[in-house]
Structure formats: structure tokens, C-alpha cells
């Protein structure tokens, strides 16, 4: 029963040309659990999360992700996960509501879901994304990651640019996600109080 | 199945409307590409000077010039279709949320509408400035449509490749011109036939064949190009 | 056997060269001895065609069959060698054109299409140098090679019909028959076979060299 939904990876290797960033990383997350990924800048935290999200192909290693007993291939995994990263941006020419509405339509979700989440992260609907502060942009990234109610959340620097209120919001959203039986992998969680940490990977340079 | 088809279609439409909304707010492609086409048009017509009254000679040279202007206008504007997604890091969000083939279809539709708009403004102006009468207006429009479709489709596909590489604008020209040249020669031949009053049936059929194969190969290849 | 094979190939090639000059008769309607270049020009064109087709096939296999580095190396090596044979075919063709038509270059449809093929595969190599990340480089290059397979028929079948060509009939002509003196045909077949084997032999060496260079990357050697 507990194995029905599970992220399990082992021996993940990824090099960029001559630079070997990940040298055989493994881990395991079950529902309601958090896997914390630590390490200094450049140790490969973002690379690992991108590999897990299916945005980068690992050179070697196995990534196995199952939802309700169904094993997902890379394309399905990429589509299902909730991914948050400083490298991810939304359209500056569009307003907050238009951005969220666009991704709702791509994912086939009702507009009400986007509206609900926008209110939850506390963003002004009509403001153009180009005119958002960096903290507000981070809130929009949270909304993008949670939009389709993913079972697996991959959070890279989830607190970047956040003030105290932002940190509290992030903690609440993550707790809700875990209470609902979600899984999470969090990179550099130093300032976030993580509930139910199942394991920790410390990457070295 | 029909449900899957309708969500695919609504995804493609969402990409198309998103692109147009962004485009109408920045007016980047419309302003620069159109201005680029007009500027080259003026330069060409001034540099060429009066060609004399020989309709045969004019009909031989001018269609080629028209298509060269259109080619360079496409090279100036269409790489951006994917280029700006990669540059602004919005590509990651699209990779996560969109079905690749639907994304390609939406982008293709955007390129087509943009390029047809450019053709619709450039071609009449070109004919007027060059004082070139067209023997078969219907065939002329057909040649522009079939040639423009292939030009936009191939450019969109190459733009997806180039978007992930360095030195985008130069590389786009290097990669797209060999792909576009057969199309261009066909389009010039068809346009020439339309202007001089010849038969363009074979060329138009081959153009449509090129268009169809570009669309099919684009839909098949794009998921591979787009995702790791 | 491995050691003898290259020597057999050299012997075969030497024989072909001898036969081209002393065994095969001269073709009718050609200036002087100019028809003899055919025994080298046609195989060069044929091998570059085979090379580009093979590069496309390897690229498809790379994309569809598990993304193995080996297939990508094979495709890249085939393009590089194909480009070399393309240049040789163009040069031999141009020399012959000078003798027969009085000019090295006159934009005959065959010349146009071979130049376009060269441009395309040079662009393929340019694309490879423009993508630093190996995984993306392999994927994008393979996709571009497949695109080449789609454009090629337009190049070979459509283009020659657009303009009048002076180029002699290809070996199997438009009437679907082989019309060539039998001794000439023998030499031509022997030569084509020899150069095709030569191509695959060099290709194998190239692929092995590429695999070795890949292993030598420092990123890969550390466990």
C-alpha cells in the first residue's frame, strides 16, 4: 500500500561536458515525506532536481516514479510533477491572471482553480509580470508549481526572495501538500522548517 | 479519443492566443519584421532602377527578388518564435505544462498568421513599386500562400532547433537556407509562371507536397527537439 | 582476416585505377579521354549519397533506439566523410565540365543540388559546434539530419526538372534502362564497390576514434 506512490532513484550521474556535476546520487521519498537536498553552490542541487523533473537526461542511473502503482515514463513525469526553480520564468508581457490562466488552459484545468491559487498566494490579478517584485515572482512560481495539484513537488530554492510572510506562506503550502499525501524534494531548505524529513542528501563540490 | 483531441486542440489554441497577446503588447515582430521587409523593398527598387518595358525580363527577375525579400524577412522574425522562450526562461514552464506536438502546432499557427500578414502587406506594395502586372492573380496568391506556408513551417522547425544553440541569428540562416532553397526555387518558378501567364500546376503541387511533409515531420520531430 | 582485408581493398582499388585507364573503352560523344573520369566521379557521388543516407538512418536509430552515443558517432562520421566525397565528386565533375562544356561551373541542376547537399551537411557540422551540451548536441543534430532526409527528395527529383540540364543521363537513365558498354559498366561497378567499402572502412575507424575521445573526457573517467 505504502509503495503505491513512490519516488526512488539511484546512481544518478550527470556531467556537463568535462564537468561532472552529479556522481551517482540516490534517494527515496514516500507519501507525506520530504527529501532534503543540501550542499554548497555548484554542488549539483539544481541539476539533480532537473533530472528528477525530466528536464535533464541523466547520463547514467535510474529514476523510478510511481503514482498509485503506475510507473511513469520521463514525459509523463515531466508533465505530472510540480517544479519550482529560480531558472523558471513566466511571461513578463502578461498579467498575473493571464499567466495563470494560460497554464490552466494548457493543463486543462478550470479557470476557477487558477483564481483560487492566485488569491491564496496573494498576488494582484491585473499586475503585469514584468512589474512584479522578486518576492512576488517567487509567489507566482509557487502558484505555477501547485496549479495542477501534483503529487510530487520538486522545490529548488523555494524561499528565494521571500520575506517573513512569504516564508510562512511557503511553510503552510508545503505542510498542506504533505498532509494531503504528497511527496517533496527540497533543495537548500536551510531556512524552511521542514516537517517529516525522511532523508537528507548532502552534495559536495 | 475525441476528448484527447479536443484538449490537444485547446492547448494549441492557448499557445496561439498567448503568443498573439504577447506580440500585440510588444509589437516586436510586427514592427521590426514589417519595417525590415519594407526597407529592403525600397532599397531593392531604388537600386534596381527602371528595368525597361520588357515584360519577359521583368517577369524573370522580379519574382526572385520578391522571394528573397520574404526569405530575409522570415529569417529576421521567425527565429524569435522559440528564441524568446529560451532567452526569457519561459521554455522550462512550457516543457513542464504543454504537450509538445500541441505546442508546435500553436507556434506554427502563430508563425503562419504572422508571415501571411507580412506577405499581404509586402507583395501588393512590391507589385505597385515595381509596376509589375500579374497575368494570373489567382495563381499569384496561390504561389504566395503555398510558398509562405512552407517558409513559415520550415523556419518554425529550424527555430526550435536553433533556440537551444549558441549564436542564434547567424546559425538560423546557416541551418534554414539549405532546407528552404528547394522551396524557394519552386515558389519563384510558380510566381514567375503566375506573372507571365504560364502554367504553375506542377510547381504548386510540389509546393503543397513540401508544405505537407514539413508539417508532418515537424509534428513528429518537435517532441524530440524540444525535450531531453 | 582483419589484417588482410585492407590490403585486399588497396589491391582492388589499384586494379580499378588500372582498368579505368587501360581496360575500359572510351565513351562515344565525349571529348578526348574525358569519359575516363566517370569511373571516379560517379562512385564519389554514389558514396556521398550512401553516406548521407546512412547518416540519416543512424540519426533515426539514435533518436528512436535508446539514444546510444555510438549511433550519434556513426552519424557524425558519416556526414564528415560524405562531405569529403561530395567535394571530390564536385571537383571531378567540374574538371570534366571544363573539358566538355568549356566552364568549370555553370549551375547545372546537378551542380546546384550537390552544392546544396554540401551546404546542408556543413550546416549540420556547424550546428554540432554551436551546442556545447553533449546530450542536446546529439539530439538536435540527429533531428536536423532527419530533416535533411525529408528535404533531399525535393533536391534530387524536383530541382533537376526546373531547369534544363546538360548533365549526361545517370547510369540508369530516365527510360529505366542501363545503356552502357559492358566493359565500362564492369569498371564502374567495380569502382563503386571499392569506394563504398573504402568509405565503410574509414568510417569504422572514425567511429572508434570518436568513442575513444569520448572516454578520454576527464568528466567520465572519475568513478
Q: What is the pLDDT of residue C217?
A: 63
Handedness of CA C198, C199, C205, C206 (dihedral sign): positive
Q: Do B228 and A55 touch (CB under 8 A)?
A: yes
**pLDDT mean over B168-179:** 90
Q: Please check the confidence at residue A166 and state whether its pLDDT lies above 50.
A: yes
- Average pLDDT score, chain B: 90
Asked if the C-beta of A16 comes within 8 angstroms of chain C's C-beta atoms, the answer is yes
Q: Do A23 and C222 touch (CB under 8 A)?
A: yes
Closest residue in C to B175 (Cα) is C123
Range of the domain at C131: 36-165+183-214
Nearest neighbour of A91 by CB, restricted to B11, B22, B99: B22
Asked if the C-beta of B3 comes within 8 angstroms of chain A's C-beta atoms, the answer is no
Asked if the C-beta of B196 comes within 8 angstroms of chain C's C-beta atoms, the answer is no
For residues A22 and A61, state if they share a domain: yes
CA B180 to chain centre: 10
Nearest neighbour of B224 by CB, restricted to C116, C143, C154: C143
Rounded to the nearest angstrom, the minimum Cα separation between A71 and chain C is 19
Nearest neighbour of A15 by CB, restricted to C67, C132, C219: C219
Q: Please check the confidence at residue B25 and state whether its pLDDT lies above 80.
A: yes
Rounded to the nearest angstrom, the minimum Cα separation between B9 and chain C is 25
Q: What is the pLDDT of residue C220?
A: 47
Q: What is the pLDDT of residue B50?
A: 66
Q: Do B97 and A103 touch (CB under 8 A)?
A: yes
Q: Check: CB of residue B153 under 8 Å from CB of residue B215.
A: yes
Q: What is the pLDDT of residue C165?
A: 64
For residues A43 and A3, state if they share a domain: yes
Q: Check: CB of residue B210 under 8 Å from CB of residue B150.
A: yes
Q: Do B93 and A87 touch (CB under 8 A)?
A: no
User: Phi first, then psi: what are they for A62, rounded to 5°?
Assistant: -125, 130
Q: Please check the confidence at residue A4 and state whether its pLDDT lies above 90.
A: no
Q: Do A17 and C218 touch (CB under 8 A)?
A: no
Radius of gyration of chain C (CA): 20
DSSP H/E element including C197: helix C182-215
As given in the structure block, the three cell numbers for residue A192 are 524552511
Q: Check: CB of residue A154 under 8 Å from CB of residue A125.
A: no
The three-state secondary structure class of A26 is: strand
Residue whose C-alpha cell is 549551375: C107
**A42-70 confidence digits (pLDDT tens):** 889 999 999 999 999 998 899 999 998 88
Nearest neighbour of A106 by CB, restricted to B14, B26, B88: B14
DSSP code per residue over C17-64: HHHHHHTSPPPTTSSTTGGGGHHHHHHHHHHHHHHHHHHHHHHHHHHH
CA gap B89, B190 in Å, rounded: 41
Range of the domain at A114: 90-149
Residue C199 lies in a domain: yes
Q: Do A106 and B22 touch (CB under 8 A)?
A: no
Q: Please check the confidence at residue A1 and state whether its pLDDT lies above 50.
A: no
Q: What is the pLDDT of residue B148?
A: 97
**pLDDT mean over B36-46:** 87
Q: Do C217 and A17 touch (CB under 8 A)?
A: yes
**B186-205 confidence digits (pLDDT tens):** 999 999 999 988 888 889 99
The pLDDT > 90 percentage for chain A reads 73
CA distances from C38 to B6, B182, C17, C20, C197 (A): 58, 27, 12, 9, 19
For residues A121 and A160, state if they share a domain: no
**B128-156 confidence digits (pLDDT tens):** 888 888 889 999 999 999 999 999 999 99
Q: What is the pLDDT of residue B52?
A: 62
The three-state secondary structure class of A56 is: coil
Residue C84 lies in a domain: yes
Q: Do C219 and A23 touch (CB under 8 A)?
A: no
Confidence of residue B53 (pLDDT cuts 50, 70, 90): low
Chain B neighbours among A 94-133 (CB < 8 Å)? 94, 98, 102-103, 105-108
For residues A5 and A76, state if they share a domain: yes
Residue C15 lies in a domain: no
For residues A41 and A59, state if they share a domain: yes
DSSP code per residue over chain B: -HHHHHHHHHHHHHHHHHHHHHHHHH-HHHHHHHHHHHHHHHHHHHHH----S-HHHHHHHHHHHHHHHHHHHHHHHTTHHHHHHHHTT-HHHHHHHS-HHHHHHHHHHHHHHHHHHHHHHHHHHHHHHHT---S-HHHHHHHHHHHHHHHHHHHHHHHHHHTTSSSHHHHHHHHHHHHHHHHHHHHHHHHHHHHHT---HHHHHHHHHHHHHHHHHHHHHHHHHH--
Closest residue in A to C218 (Cα) is A18
Nearest neighbour of C219 by CB, restricted to A18, A56, A57: A18
Q: What is the pLDDT of residue C166?
A: 65
Asked if the C-beta of B183 comes within 8 angstroms of chain C's C-beta atoms, the answer is yes
B132 vs A194, residue with greater confidence: B132
Q: Is C175 exposed, middle or buried (0-12, 13-18, 19+ CB in 10 A)?
A: exposed
CA gap A175, B15 in Å, rounded: 33
> A63, A74, A93, A96: which to substitute to probe chain B, counting the most B Cβ within 10 Å?
A93
CA gap B56, B178 in Å, rounded: 29
**pLDDT mean over A4-22:** 87
Chain A residues in contact with C72 by the CB 8 A cut-off are none
Is the interface score ipTM higher than 0.90?
yes
Q: What is the pLDDT of residue B28?
A: 82
Chain B residues in contact with A126 by the CB 8 A cut-off are none
Q: Check: CB of residue B153 under 8 Å from CB of residue B214.
A: yes
For residues A3 and A64, state if they share a domain: yes
Residue C222 lies in a domain: no
Q: Do C132 and A17 touch (CB under 8 A)?
A: yes
> A20, A25, A205: which to substitute to probe chain C, counting the most C Cβ within 10 Å?
A20
Q: What is the pLDDT of residue A172?
A: 93
Chain C residues in contact with B183 by the CB 8 A cut-off are 154
Chain C residues in contact with B215 by the CB 8 A cut-off are none
Angle at A36 between CA A33 and CA A39, to 5 degrees: 175
Rounded to the nearest angstrom, the minimum Cα separation between A42 and chain C is 15
pLDDT in tens, chain C (223 residues): 678 888 899 999 999 999 888 888 877 777 777 888 888 999 999 999 999 999 999 999 999 988 898 999 999 999 999 999 999 999 999 998 888 888 888 888 888 888 888 999 999 999 999 998 888 999 999 999 999 999 988 887 777 666 666 676 655 455 545 567 788 888 889 999 999 999 999 999 999 999 988 877 654 444 3
Q: Please check the confidence at residue B71 and state whether its pLDDT lies above 90.
A: yes
Asked if the C-beta of C136 comes within 8 angstroms of chain B's C-beta atoms, the answer is yes
> A13, A14, A15: which to substitute to probe chain C, counting the most C Cβ within 10 Å?
A15
Task: Please tell me the total count of domains within chain C.
Answer: 1
CA gap C148, C127 in Å, rounded: 13
Rounded to the nearest angstrom, the minimum Cα separation between A14 and chain C is 9
Chain C residues in contact with A57 by the CB 8 A cut-off are 67, 135
Asked if the C-beta of A18 comes within 8 angstroms of chain C's C-beta atoms, the answer is yes
Task: Please tell me the total count of domains within chain A.
Answer: 2
For residues A141 and A169, state if they share a domain: no
Residue whose C-alpha cell is 533531428: C143
For residues A61 and A2, state if they share a domain: yes
For residues A145 and A159, state if they share a domain: no
Q: What is the pLDDT of residue C34?
A: 80
Q: What is the pLDDT of residue C177?
A: 52
Residue C27 lies in a domain: no
Q: What is the pLDDT of residue C223?
A: 35
Chain C residues in contact with A17 by the CB 8 A cut-off are 132-134, 217, 219
Q: Do B182 and C151 touch (CB under 8 A)?
A: yes
Amino acid at each position: 500500500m505504502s509503495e503505491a506512490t513512490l519516488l526512488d532513484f539511484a546512481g544518478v550521474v550527470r556531467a556537463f561536458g568535462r564537468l561532472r556535476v552529479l556522481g551517482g546520487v540516490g534517494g527515496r521519498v514516500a507519501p507525506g515525506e520530504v527529501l532534503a537536498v543540501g550542499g554548497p553552490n555548484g554542488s549539483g542541487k539544481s541539476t539533480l532536481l532537473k533530472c528528477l523533473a525530466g528536464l535533464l537526461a541523466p547520463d547514467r542511473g535510474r529514476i523510478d516514479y510511481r503514482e498509485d502503482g503506475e510507473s511513469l515514463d520521463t514525459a509523463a513525469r515531466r508533465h505530472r510533477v510540480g517544479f519550482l526553480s529560480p531558472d523558471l520564468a513566466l511571461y513578463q508581457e502578461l498579467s498575473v491572471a493571464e499567466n495563470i490562466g494560460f497554464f490552466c488552459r494548457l493543463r486543462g484545468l478550470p479557470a476557477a482553480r487558477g483564481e483560487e491559487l492566485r488569491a491564496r498566494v496573494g498576488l494582484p490579478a491585473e499586475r503585469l509580470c514584468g512589474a512584479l517584485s522578486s518576492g512576488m515572482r517567487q509567489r507566482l512560481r509557487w502558484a505555477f508549481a501547485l496549479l495542477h495539484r501534483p503529487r510530487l513537488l520538486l522545490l529548488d530554492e523555494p524561499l528565494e526572495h521571500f520575506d517573513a510572510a512569504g516564508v510562512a506562506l511557503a511553510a503552510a503550502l508545503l505542510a498542506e501538500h504533505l498532509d494531503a499525501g504528497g511527496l517533496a524534494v527540497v533543495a537548500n531548505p536551510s531556512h524552511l522548517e521542514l516537517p517529516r524529513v525522511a532523508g537528507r542528501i548532502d552534495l559536495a563540490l | 479519443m475525441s476528448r484527447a483531441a479536443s484538449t490537444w486542440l485547446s492547448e494549441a489554441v492557448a499557445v496561439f492566443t498567448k503568443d498573439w497577446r504577447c506580440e500585440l503588447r510588444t509589437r516586436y515582430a510586427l514592427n521590426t519584421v514589417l519595417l525590415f521587409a519594407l526597407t529592403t523593398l525600397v532599397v531593392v527598387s531604388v537600386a534596381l532602377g527602371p528595368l525597361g518595358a520588357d515584360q519577359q525580363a521583368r517577369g524573370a527577375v522580379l519574382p526572385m527578388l520578391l522571394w528573397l525579400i520574404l526569405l530575409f524577412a522570415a529569417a529576421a522574425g521567425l527565429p524569435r518564435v522559440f528564441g524568446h522562450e529560451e532567452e526569457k526562461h519561459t521554455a522550462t514552464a512550457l516543457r513542464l505544462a504543454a504537450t509538445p506536438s500541441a505546442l508546435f502546432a500553436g507556434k506554427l499557427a502563430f508563425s503562419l498568421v504572422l508571415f501571411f500578414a507580412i506577405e499581404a502587406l509586402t507583395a501588393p506594395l512590391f507589385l505597385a513599386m515595381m509596376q509589375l502586372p500579374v497575368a494570373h492573380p489567382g495563381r499569384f496568391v496561390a504561389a504566395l500562400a503555398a510558398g509562405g506556408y512552407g517558409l513559415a513551417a520550415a523556419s518554425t522547425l529550424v527555430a526550435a532547433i536553433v533556440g537551444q544553440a549558441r549564436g542564434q541569428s547567424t546559425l538560423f540562416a546557416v541551418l534554414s537556407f539549405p532546407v528552404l532553397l528547394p522551396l524557394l526555387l519552386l515558389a519563384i518558378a510558380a510566381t514567375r509562371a503566375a506573372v507571365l501567364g504560364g502554367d504553375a500546376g506542377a510547381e504548386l503541387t510540389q509546393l503543397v507536397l513540401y508544405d505537407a511533409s514539413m508539417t508532418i515531420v515537424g509534428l513528429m520531430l518537435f517532441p524530440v527537439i524540444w525535450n531531453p | 582476416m582483419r589484417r588482410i582485408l585492407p590490403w585486399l581493398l588497396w589491391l582492388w582499388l589499384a586494379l580499378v585505377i588500372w582498368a579505368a585507364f587501360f581496360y575500359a573503352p572510351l565513351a562515344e560523344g565525349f571529348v578526348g579521354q574525358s569519359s575516363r573520369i566517370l569511373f571516379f566521379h560517379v562512385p564519389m557521388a554514389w558514396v556521398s549519397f550512401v553516406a548521407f543516407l546512412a547518416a540519416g538512418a543512424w540519426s533515426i536509430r539514435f533518436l528512436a533506439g535508446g539514444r546510444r552515443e555510438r549511433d550519434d558517432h556513426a552519424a557524425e562520421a558519416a556526414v564528415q566523410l560524405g562531405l569529403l566525397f561530395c567535394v571530390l565528386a564536385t571537383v571531378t565533375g567540374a574538371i570534366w565540365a571544363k573539358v566538355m562544356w568549356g566552364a568549370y561551373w555553370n549551375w547545372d541542376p546537378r551542380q546546384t543540388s550537390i552544392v546544396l547537399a554540401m551546404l546542408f551537411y556543413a550546416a549540420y557540422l556547424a550546428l554540432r559546434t554551436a551546442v556545447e551540451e553533449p546530450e542536446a548536441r546529439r539530439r538536435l543534430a540527429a533531428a536536423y539530419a532527419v530533416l535533411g532526409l525529408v528535404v533531399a527528395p525535393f533536391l534530387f527529383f524536383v530541382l533537376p526538372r526546373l531547369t534544363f540540364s546538360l548533365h549526361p543521363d545517370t547510369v540508369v537513365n530516365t527510360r529505366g534502362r542501363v545503356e552502357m558498354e559492358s566493359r565500362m559498366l564492369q569498371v564502374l561497378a567495380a569502382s563503386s564497390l571499392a569506394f563504398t567499402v573504402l568509405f565503410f572502412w574509414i568510417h569504422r575507424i572514425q567511429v572508434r576514434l570518436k568513442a575513444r575521445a569520448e572516454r578520454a573526457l576527464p568528466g567520465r573517467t572519475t568513478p
